[in-house]
Structure 1
Amino acid sequence: MSTPTTSFGREAAAAISRSKNEPAWLVALREEAGQLATELNLPKPEKLPLTRWTLDQYGVSRPGQSVTTASELPAAITALLPEENSSALIVQHNSSVIFTQISEELKAQGVILTSLEEASRNHEELFRKHFMTAYSKDEHKLAAVHAALWNGGVFLYVPRNVTIEAPIQALLFVDDAEATFMPHVLVIAESNSRVSFVEQVASSLGDAASTLLHNSAVEVFAKAGAVVQYAAVHQMDSSAIDIAYRRAVLDNDARIEWIVGDLHNGNSITDTKSVLKGNGSTSDSKIITIGTGSQRMSLTTQAVHFGRSTESDMITRAVMKEEATAIINGITKIEKGATKANGQQTEKVLMLSPKARGDANPILLIDEDDVKAGHAASVGQVNADQVYYLMSRGISRKEAERLIIHGFLDPVVSEIPLKGLREQLHRILERKLG
């Protein structure tokens, strides 16, 4: 049996790249990232000592078995796929993409959906211009590790003026605790295009003794006038650590909508950031999470305004049970020159146990005068008046609290663009809320 990698450097990262037959520039990038991984420190999220986490088991390459039709996918994977017919679907199993499906209609329009590894060889110009530019390999140690070891991944390109009606689906699945599982999603939406992308991350690790590190990244580039809706649902086993850095860069009048269900069962760090570079660009972020057991979580949502007349709205809602701890950060940054910008944020935490903890930290950083910015944050228990009202209508206390919690989380759940995934999300919520 292979032993998961616990250390690597410049030469090992380059060897991985060469084994994949990657172009010379990408070999050099992995090589540089491998070196940085030996030099940089871990990020330092507030009140979350990462040095106690098992973040140095990077795994070994365990490619899945490629298939040519969806019916050949493993049963554990097909069980997670929404029943709706999809014009585009991509599946990663452990360390590699095993299935890609895209309709002839989308191909004729110039839409590209493929693994990121294939894109590095077949679409090098587009890939090289955008890859690891919104999320830099020198941000911290976890970023460097990701840049050095990423595998499989998703590359989506939407040409100018193309509107894709049905959501593009990606399922990233792992059932081998010793596999390197570090997918990277790269979405490029050219000017005046529209697309919805749904990412689902799931695992089936059983009673794995080792810790799986899911160190992932998302980069979205929305060109002038493009609209990108990005929905993500993470639901891995408690033996996995979920690291997810998401970045979007918006040109003039572009829009990003983040809809995120961070419903992982183990420790996690997520950081979702919109860079409003262009004038008139907008960002709308909706994120929910549920903490159970002894989970430790750090969830950060950011909007950085550079363009004039830009708007951002961020909503984060967390439900904390048992002894779970969550640090919820909302950061709105309005740079000098971003006149008429408007940045709003709301963080709300429901506490269902006296031992649970949720910290909501709204942060406004304003370097321009002619702007609007606001925040609201609250941490508390289920509203007693609401419970009393529902009980007065003949509903039990337990059911009343359940209804209130579901209503609390609904602003995100109702926005998931696939009916099957929404229903699956409801089942996850029921299981986590017990």
Structure 2
Amino acid sequence: MTVETKAELTQEFITGYSKQQGEPEWLLDLRLKGFELSGKLELPKPEKTKISDWNLLTFTHPGEETPISSVEGLPHEVKRVIGDEQGAGNVVIHKNGRAVFQALSEDLKQKGVIFTDIQTAVKEHGDLVKRYLAQLVKVDEHQLTAIHTALFNSGVFLYVPKNVEVDVPLQSVFWQENGDVGLIPHILIVAEDNSKVTYVENSIGAEQGTSVNNYVAEVFVGPGANVTFAAVDNLGKNVTNYVYRRATVDRDGHIDWALGQMHDGNTVSDNLTILKGDGSTGDSKSVVVGRGEQSQNFVQKMIQFGRASDGQILGHAVMKDAARAIFNGISKIEKGATKANGEQTERVLMLSEKARGDANPILLIDEDDVTAGHAASVGQVDKMQLYYLMSRGISKSEAERLIILGFLNPVVEKIPLEGMKKRLIDVIERKVK
């Protein structure tokens, strides 16, 4: 199915697709609600970014893909992302919006950990999925969330029971081989009381084709739980990206975001953390490289309800060529969140005269007994740093490369897998070359 206009998003197609997947009635009802709202709701309106002329609706909905029996059947780039045997033992891989390979160690299964593709989870763990699905990113927020709910075709469900600590990272890969296939993944992560888990995500794009990535992640962090969410986003220049990542954190819980946002196409990315419990903490780090004529809009937001909660936001970006981007860091401390702390820093490095970066740190404070601060900078490569390195015999291009890597290092170092960290560095170097 090619969704070229809202009129071609039909009830018959959605019903047929849901039935074909063997989905329960409650999910079909949710999908049909998304269909109904898609024709009534408006597009979202990100600040200072006009998206009405972006390709947001033209893509091919995926058909069947042949399952892969082992990692040996994967292309080199995907195997390189997964890494060693330990990585291959705890992974979910999607090809063109369909799950084709997954594995979870017997030890984690015995502990009650669930890590599988979203379609399997709906069939085998329907009550759990129903409890959390579309609770943080609502179907009726705007037209794109409605379309996402109606058509999501991939994603993972990760569930960690109470008091279980997962010592190895759990990985997912969204591999787009056909550049016309729409990626509509839904990530659902539930970490119960005093649990611990690291989730690592890679997207790998096709070089040709025109498509859409309508992505949603919902993360529920229970009391005393600790979740690390790391991702390297890298889809092609003809893929339009609308990315929602949201988390809610209960008492004494913690979430750590480490995001390498490297998409080459026009992108809106909204990362929201709700620190609702007393003593809850959130740390959101994001690195961006824009090039060509990309238009991008990034929001990192912490809303703090909990007393003595702590929200940290760090965003570093490099813009080159004629790329332009908006970076909004928002710290919101609600009434009653006494002793809360909210800090944020946004820094943008521009490598050409035509590149544009707009960094906007925003503090919204409704409580007196708190601490909060922000910093922002937009500028070019430091000429003194460049001169110092070149005076040591380093070429100008190599000196610029070293300065850029050092500028982005605070986020790169937070990536929890060495293989993934290396991939992020490779992507950064390729984009700033």
Settle same-fold status: TM greater than 0.5.
yes
Please identify, of 343-352 and 330-339, the stretch whose mean Cα deviation from structure 2 is larger: 330-339
| Contact 2:202–2:233, Cα closer than 8 Å, also in 1 | yes
Instruction: Give me the whole-angstrom Cα distance separating, in 2, the residues matched to 1:403 and 1:218.
Output: 33
Aligned counterpart, 1:19: 20
Q: Is 1:38 aligned with 2:73?
A: no
Aligned twin of 1:268? 267
Residue matched to 1:289: 288
Within 5 Å, give how 1:165-204 maps onto structure 2: 165-204=167-206
The aligned residue for residue 329 of structure 1 is 328
Query: What CA distance in whole angstroms lies between the structure 2 residues aligned with 1:36 and 1:16?
Result: 18
Take 1:189 and 1:289, find their aligned partners in 2: how far apart are those partners?
28
3-state SS, counterpart of residue 39 of structure 2: helix
Alpha-carbon displacement from aligned partner over 1:214-254 (angstroms, at most 9, x marks no partner): 10111111100000000010111111112210011101000
Matched, 1:352 2:351: yes
Letter in 2 for 1:249: T
The residue aligned with 1:54 is: 55
**Offset of residue 13 of structure 1:** 3.0
1:366–1:15 Cα change, 3 Å: farther
Which residue of structure 2 aligns with residue 235 of structure 1?
A: 234
Deviation at 1:84, TM superposition (A): 5.7
Contact residue 2 and residue 59 of structure 2 kept, 8 A: no
SS of the aligned residue for 1:56 comes to coil
Q: 1:52: Cα distance to partner?
A: 1.0
Q: Percent identity?
A: 45
Q: Which amino acid aligns with 1:110?
A: G
Give the direction of change, closer, same or farther, for the CA distance of 1:20–1:271 in structure 2 (3 Å limit): same
Mapping for residues 9-408 of structure 1, pairs under 5 Å: 9-75=10-76, 77-83=78-84, 85-86=86-87, 87-206=89-208, 208=209, 211-408=210-407
Deviations 1:297-327 (A, max 9, x none): 1111010011111000000011000100010
Q: Per the alignment, in what secondary structure is the counterpart of residue 387 of structure 2?
A: helix
Aligned 8 A contact 2:80 2:419 in 1: no
Say which is worse superposed, 415-424 or 81-90, in terms of deviation: 81-90
Shift of 1:11: 4.8
**1:72 CA displacement:** 2.5
Quick one: distance in 2 between partners of 1:66 and 1:380?
48
CA contact (8 A) 2:233 2:263 kept: yes
The answer (yes or no) to whether the contact 1:5–1:59 under 8 Å persists in 2 is no
Q: Secondary structure at the match of 1:43?
A: coil
Structure 2 segments unaligned to the other structure (5+ residues): none
Partners of 2:52 and 2:338 in 1: CA distance = 41
**Deviations for 1:269-308, whole angstroms, at most 9, x for unmatched residues?**
1111101011100000110000101011111101001111
Between the aligned partners of 2:199 and 2:42, the Cα distance in structure 1 is: 32
Cα pair distance change 1:121/1:53, threshold 3 Å: same
> Would the aligned equivalents of 1:5 and 1:60 in 2 still touch at CA under 8 Å?
no
Q: Deviations over 1:386-417 (max 9, x none)?
A: 22222333323322221111000001111111
Alpha-carbon distance between aligned partners in 1 of 2:69 and 2:292, rounded to the nearest angstrom: 40
Query: 2: CA distance between counterparts of 1:61 and 1:306?
Result: 41
TM-score by length of 1: 0.96
Tell me the equivalent position of 1:426: 425
Alpha-carbon distance, 1:82 to partner: 2.5
Separation of aligned partners in 2, 1:72 and 1:202: 16
CA contact (8 A) 1:167 1:195 kept: yes
Structure 1 residue 19 displacement after superposition: 2.5
Q: Which stretch of structure 1 is more off in the superposition, 413-422 or 254-263?
A: 413-422
- Counterpart-to-counterpart distance in 1, 2:119 and 2:252: 31
Q: Distance in 2 between matches of 1:84 and 1:363?
A: 44
What is the one-letter code of the residue matched to 1:225?
Answer: G
- Segments of structure 1 that go 5 or more residues without pairing to the other structure are none
Given that 2:2 and 2:58 are in contact with CA atoms closer than 8 Å, whether structure 1 keeps it comes out as: no
Which letter does structure 2 place at the counterpart of 1:85?
A: Q
Once the two structures are TM-superposed, the CA of residue 212 in structure 1 deviates from its matched residue by 0.7
TM-score, normalised by the number of residues in structure 2: 0.96
Structure 1: distance between partners of 2:73 and 2:380: 47
What SS does the corresponding residue of 2:82 show, helix, strand or coil?
coil
CA distance in 2 between counterparts of 1:303 and 1:430 reads 30
Contact 2:179/2:205 (8 A) holds in 1: no
Name the CA distance, whole Å, in 1 between partners of 2:363 and 2:81: 39
How many angstroms apart in 2 are the aligned matches of 1:310 and 1:384? Answer: 40
Q: How far, CA to CA, are the matches of 1:174 and 1:149 in structure 2?
A: 17
SS in structure 2 opposite 1:340?
coil
Contact between 1:84 and 1:420, CA under 8 Å: does it hold in 2? Answer: no
| Equivalenced residues, count | 430
Letter in 1 for 2:28: V
The separation in 1 between residues aligned to 2:67 and 2:75, in whole angstroms, is: 10
For residues 58 and 42 of structure 1, the distance between their equivalents in structure 2, rounded to whole angstroms, comes to 17
